[in-house]
Amino acid sequence: MIGFSGAAMRLGARRVLPLVAGLAPFGLVVGLLAQGAGLSLTEAGLMSGLCYAGSAQLLALGHWAVPAPILAATLAALIVNLRLVLMGPVLAPWLDRVKGWRLMASLFMMADQNWALSVEAMRRGEGDAGFLFGSGLLTWFVWVGTTLAGHLLGGVIAPAPNHPIFFAALAVFIALLVPMWRGRMDGLPRVVAAIASIVTSVVLPGTWYVVVGALAGSLAGLLQERLRPPAPPAALVVE
């Protein structure tokens, strides 16, 4: 089918290989956390296979409780994954040419890694929507496989509930902040989010501090952008 070729799928799978290698430790951490939270091997595999969202899974597993904080976890996952709403339209020149299961499967397989590769390939005029699907399918297999491996590893080492290894979920999010730093302008939203999270964790039970912190930081960033003075027009250069 035009717009969804096997050649593009194979090209996407080859291009994503280096990034998949870096994703493996992330999947192991999710598997370890799932085992520590009491999920069975099947449940951990289904969670990764059906959700296929590392950040959302870490949020859920890092605050696993009985009864489960369903509303707070849902809102937190929604906020974390709102970026996907903006990522999809960027690939419209590819995605607008496919329909049905091919479109749905391509969108399901879209993650940060293969999306970035797909944007680069699209700008070069390489491939089609099959590139997004092929790169995402390989990433999905590795994600589910490393989650299962992490779960099995957790069963072997059997860490105690308060073991430092369960700090991994928070550590991953902290590490992700480093490459995302763009300068001093990023400082205010992060400080506001941190303060709001700390205060909420004291005032409200459960994991509402995740939601409140994310919303507070986002609003601070929005206000900061609105109040920033407009950039001066570029000077005209007269030869």
| Encoded tokens for 125 | 């005029």
Q: Does residue 172 share a domain with residue 189?
A: no
Residue 236 has pLDDT above 50, yes or no: no
Q: Does residue 167 share a domain with residue 66?
A: yes
Residue 35 has pLDDT above 70, yes or no: yes
What is the pLDDT, as a whole number, of residue 179? 62
State percent of the chain over pLDDT 70. Answer: 87
| Angle CA 109–115–119, to nearest 5 | 140
Q: Model confidence at 231, in pLDDT bands (50, 70, 90)?
A: low
Q: Does residue 116 share a domain with residue 188?
A: no
Cβ-count burial 50-83 (b if 16+ within 10 Å, e if not): eebbbbbbbbbbbbbeeeebeebbebbbebbeee
Q: Does residue 85 share a domain with residue 135?
A: yes
> HSE (CB half, 13 Å, CA atoms) of 49?
10
| Arithmetic mean of pLDDT, 60-74 | 75
| Arithmetic mean of pLDDT, 143-160 | 90
Rg (CA), the chain: 20
| 84 vs 167 pLDDT, higher one | 84
| Arithmetic mean of pLDDT, 51-58 | 84
For tokens 């890092």, the residue is: 62
Question: Which domain, by its residues, includes 213?
Answer: 181-229
CA–CA distance, 6 with 3 (Å, rounded to integer): 10
| Angle CA 120–123–129, to nearest 5 | 75
| 172 vs 228 pLDDT, higher one | 228
Per-residue pLDDT tens digits for 182-204: 778 888 888 999 999 899 989 98
Q: Does residue 195 share a domain with residue 150?
A: no
Q: What is the DSSP letter of 233?
A: P
Q: Does residue 223 share a domain with residue 176?
A: no
CA–CA distance, 81 with 228 (Å, rounded to integer): 27
Per-residue pLDDT tens digits for 80-125: 787 788 788 889 999 999 999 999 999 999 988 899 899 999 999 9
Q: Is residue 34 part of a domain?
A: yes
Q: Does residue 192 share a domain with residue 157?
A: no
Q: Does residue 132 share a domain with residue 109?
A: yes
SS (H, E, C) 40-87: CHHHHHHHHHHHCCHHHHHHHHHCCCCCCCHHHHHHHHHHHHCHHHHH
What is the pLDDT, as a whole number, of residue 178? 74
